[in-house]
Structure 1
Amino acid sequence: MSKRKLNRRQTWRAEKIQQERLDRAKKREDKVDHGSLGDAQSGRVISHFGVQLDVEAADGEIHRCRMRQNLPSLVTGDNVLWRADEDHGGGIIEALEERISVLSRPDRHGQLKLVASNIDQIILVIAPLPTPSNLLIDRYLVAAEATGIPVWILMNKTDLPEAEASMEQISIYQKIGYEVHSCSTHVENGLDHLKQMLIGKNSVFVGQSGVGKSSLVNSLLPGVEIRVNTISTNSKLGQHTTTTARLYHIEEGGEIIDSPGIRDFGIWHIEPEAVPDGYKEFAPFLGACRFRNCSHQHEPGCALLAALEAGEISAERLKNCLSLMETLRAES
């Protein structure tokens, strides 16, 4: 699967053009006749609908806006400059302000798709049903580690009879240093603790369809009333309900972005050789192999195999890492 990657000069030029556009939009002395458009003002993208976006103004009002041509792709969480269209309603987004962080994933065609921006933490939501796969969890964690955004794991639906086995299954992540929390919206267990983890931070919920992300938002933020769905009784897989990421405010401070469910979180934007960097417990051993191009499978002097032999890393995590690397090489 071929993917177009910008070289350093192309990336610099795109950023330069965007900064120039942002500077122009901020200048009050701009002589351009904007017709029915009001003054440039700051706003926050709270949802995305194809070519149109919902932008929240400083006063809390939400405006359906369209984008100027040649703007980069925008995503929920972006801070933008926009102008109200006084004649036709809504507004025009003029420029994108600098992002402090961004989470992205490749779509089914291998093109990079933004998930959310300006977030402080990623909450990977899993549940006993649909049955969690540690390989899928690793995909999410590798993608999160590549962004540098802190990530922790939330086991939802702990009222289900399968919950105990699922918690044992993911205990491996707690052992290597990830925060693992649990809750249930059905019996309202663990929700107060969860909310305290979210207050004052901008968080994004990610995970498969059917793990209950939207139900969590409904429980944490009464009155939001996001439509939710049930697990398919035939496939035991989640059914898509949320179709676009949306930002919600926490009354005590902070934000939650509810993202659409994804059954298979791709990491095709990551080079195969960079996958081990997404396994945080591998860090002390990376770069210490005898051979520079070590495959971490059979070579003498492999630091990861030595760590496995010493019980410092798990066989399952190493197997998943090698599987992800092989998949990326096959699809490149």
Structure 2
Amino acid sequence: MPRRRLSERQIERIRTIQDRRRQRLADRTEAVLAELEEAPPEAGTVVVRHGANLAVEDEAGKVWHCLARQNIGEPVCGDRVVWQPIGSGRGLVTALMARRTVLSRPDFAGRDKPLAANLDQLVIVLAPRPEPSPYLLDQYLVAAELIGVRALIAVAKTDLVDETERPAFEQRFAHYGALGYPLLWLSLRRDATLASLAAALHGHTSILVGQSGVGKSSLVKALLPDREIQIGRLSAATGLGRHTTSATTRYRLADGSFLIDSPGVRSFRLGAIDPADLARGFRELASLIGHCRFSDCRHDREPDCALKAAVADGRVHPERLATFLHLLGSCR
């Protein structure tokens, strides 16, 4: 069926209707801004973000359902923000405060995508099954070094390891302890081990990361017996609570510390990184770079390589060097 052509009068009428609608939207925006002029700006923290919706906790602990102005950037969980109330329980985020730290990973286009801000501890959760990946673990540790946060390794489900096999299993990670990374051996069947994790979280804003199946969700539930209450509080205040199982969310621990649960950080890779920063991410290698015989040493078969010599005399674990060389290949 051929499309009916509009007359000039009909076209003009449509334009008038659209102009009227745009003006109504502009009037509403001006009304909101006028109300904002009367409401003083406040500081707050993003507890969870779902799409354009933010749950912002004010300084008194009340949660507000906020939207963010488009030109301020991308607020993420943990961000400190400036916001203003615009109605009962609702607000508008008008600015992001400077981030002390931010954990990011590249998106499908290779651009850095912030995941959580203002954390000071990265807790990398491993388990006997699925098989731990030293390559993935090392990337998390490099990220922690580069953003300047403390990292610890929590090995969950240790009850799955037979007592006769446990010494060999623990030895696989001993070199991380020698580098200064705390190692926690956890089992939900042994309450005392969970207490060691709770103690390590005290005084920090921590994020738990790890592969699917390592028991991260079970640890979160054990650490947060009131998690459902906290989710209900978010839902009652903002309607966002049902999304917290799939969105990065900041929870308050019993001692006043904070735990960020990020279901989206079950896999991880570093973004664009230059060789100097990569070397800085391996704390045992940083002081060795530049001490090879050749300035362009690839740390492969060249003679008098400082890194190879460090592996030979036990100062560097061969798996760590293998990860470094693999990542270095992507820098070139």
TM-score, normalised by the number of residues in structure 2:
0.78
Summarize the Cα distance change of 1:134–1:219 in structure 2 as closer, same or farther, 3 Å threshold.
Answer: same
Structure 2 stretches of 5 or more lacking a match?
Answer: 1-30, 230-243
- In structure 2, what residue type is equivalent to 1:277? R
Summarize the Cα distance change of 1:250–1:161 in structure 2 as closer, same or farther, 3 Å threshold.
Answer: same
**Equivalent position SS for 1:306:** helix
- Bigger shift: residues 312-321 or 40-49: 312-321
Aligned-partner Cα distance in 2 for 1:61–1:321: 45
Aligned-partner Cα distance in 2 for 1:109–1:210: 27
CA contact (8 A) 2:272 2:331 kept: no
Partner of 2:324: 321
- In structure 2, what residue type is equivalent to 1:103? L
1:195 to 2:176 alignment:
no
Summarize the Cα distance change of 1:166–1:71 in structure 2 as closer, same or farther, 3 Å threshold.
Answer: farther
Q: CA deviation at 1:91?
A: 1.3
Higher percent of residues as helix: 2
1:35 to 2:28 alignment:
no
How many residues get paired?
A: 284
- Equivalent of 1:280 in 255, 269, 283: 283
Per-residue CA distance 1:153-203 (angstroms, 9 max, x = gap): 111111223783543322221122211112122443411121111112111
Q: CA deviation at 1:244?
A: 1.6
CA RMSD of aligned residues (A): 2.4
Partner of 2:60: 59
Greater radius of gyration (CA) = 2
1:152 to 2:152 alignment:
yes
CA contact (8 A) 1:201 1:253 kept: no
Structure 1 stretches of 5 or more lacking a match?
Answer: 1-31, 227-240
Q: CA deviation at 1:82?
A: 0.6
Aligned-partner Cα distance in 1 for 2:91–2:280: 42
Partner of 1:23: none
Partner of 1:110: 110
Aligned-partner Cα distance in 1 for 2:129–2:32: 56
Q: How many percent identity over aligned positions?
A: 41
- Equivalent of 1:260 in 258, 263, 279: 263
**Equivalent position SS for 1:35:** helix
CA contact (8 A) 2:32 2:86 kept: no
- In structure 2, what residue type is equivalent to 1:326? G
Per-residue CA distance 1:79-117 (angstroms, 9 max, x = gap): 101111216x52110101111111111123312111211
1:136 to 2:136 alignment:
yes
Summarize the Cα distance change of 1:189–1:129 in structure 2 as closer, same or farther, 3 Å threshold.
Answer: farther
CA contact (8 A) 1:242 1:261 kept: no
CA contact (8 A) 1:214 1:242 kept: no
Summarize the Cα distance change of 1:97–1:262 in structure 2 as closer, same or farther, 3 Å threshold.
Answer: closer
Aligned-partner Cα distance in 2 for 1:214–1:84: 34
**Equivalent position SS for 1:282:** coil
Summarize the Cα distance change of 1:262–1:251 in structure 2 as closer, same or farther, 3 Å threshold.
Answer: closer
Partner of 1:26: none
Aligned-partner Cα distance in 1 for 2:254–2:314: 46
Q: CA deviation at 1:123?
A: 0.9
Summarize the Cα distance change of 1:264–1:149 in structure 2 as closer, same or farther, 3 Å threshold.
Answer: same
- Bigger shift: residues 58-67 or 157-166: 157-166
